[in-house]
Amino acid sequence: MGRGKIVIRRIDNSTSRQVTFSKRRSGLLKKAKELAILCDAEVGVMIFSSTGKLHEFSNTSMKSVIDRYHKAKEEQQLTSPISEVRVSLAPLANLSNLNFY
Amino acid sequence: MGRGKIVIRRIDNSTSRQVTFSKRRSGLLKKAKELAILCDAEVGVMIFSSTGKLHEFSNTSMKSVIDRYHKAKEEQQLTSPISEVRVSLAPLANLSNLNFY
DNA sequence: CTGACTATGTATAAACT
DNA sequence: TAGTTTATACATAGTCA
């Protein structure tokens, strides 16, 4: 997107890497927000720049997302420790609606 | 983006919400990956669909990202409990291996 | 429901200020 | 070096198979 096509590979020039980071971080956070709203999803995004600065987005709270992530992972372990299946508990109740692929 | 402009608001129709979720989730994860590579950033994304299914991306490991997130937050508290400044300790700082989970 | 297709809206690489 | 502009590449909404 933009005047020229680019290859997805680390940008060597520190200045343009910083500029690109700023633009794309903004775009990513916007997309995350849109996804959360449009699709009624819970979304958490954490980004550390190469200089160590943190940027984040969460439509609920990052704590909530992280807790839910751990629960989902835990459930994954209990359910199928070997497979790649990624399933969380439905938002309290509705156990019958779990989708196993 | 697409044939028509849309308003960012929860999609009521369950089927199209699911279709949009699938498309945009894919796009978001791709963008996250590109940002991480292009800008040499550490990125973590967690997404729970409205049916509770987890989707994630991390260019390192989610554990690493979450740990770093907590450290950054902690440092934020120590440094400026009131301000909005979001700065993490440089990657090597290694204050202590706090276990939040 | 799962995938293409493609017209159109958006994000953004470069250029410029 | 941050903000603005613009041409272009990319993502995707609506549609159809």
Residues B61-98: tens digit of each pLDDT:
999 999 999 999 998 777 766 555 544 444 434 334 34
From the CA of B78, how many Å to the nearest CA of chain A? Answer: 15
Residue range B17-31: mean pLDDT, rounded: 97
Query: What's the pLDDT tens digit per position in A13-64?
Result: 999 999 999 999 999 999 999 999 999 999 999 999 999 999 999 999 999 9
CB contact under 8 A, B52 and A10: no
Q: What is the pLDDT of residue A96?
A: 40
Torsion of CA A68, B24, A56, A65, to 10 degrees: -10
Q: Give the residue from chain B lying closest to A71, CA to CA.
A: B54
Which residues of A fall within a CB distance of 8 Å from B6?
A: 38
Specify the amino acid at residue A42: E
Is 0.85 surpassed by the pTM of this model? no
Q: What is the pLDDT of residue A82?
A: 55
Query: What's the pLDDT tens digit per position in A55-92?
Result: 999 999 999 999 999 999 998 777 766 554 544 444 44
Name every residue whose Cβ is closer than 8 Å to that of residue B45 and which is 6 or more positions away in sequence.
A32, A43, A44, A45, A46, B28, B29, B32, B56, B57, B58
Which residues of B fall within a CB distance of 8 Å from A6?
A: 38
* Torsion sign (Cα): B63, B71, A72, A38: negative
Element (H, E) at A54: strand A54-58
Q: What is the pLDDT of residue B80?
A: 63
Tell me the C-alpha distance between B63 and B81, whole Å: 25
- Higher model confidence: residue A58 or residue A1? A58
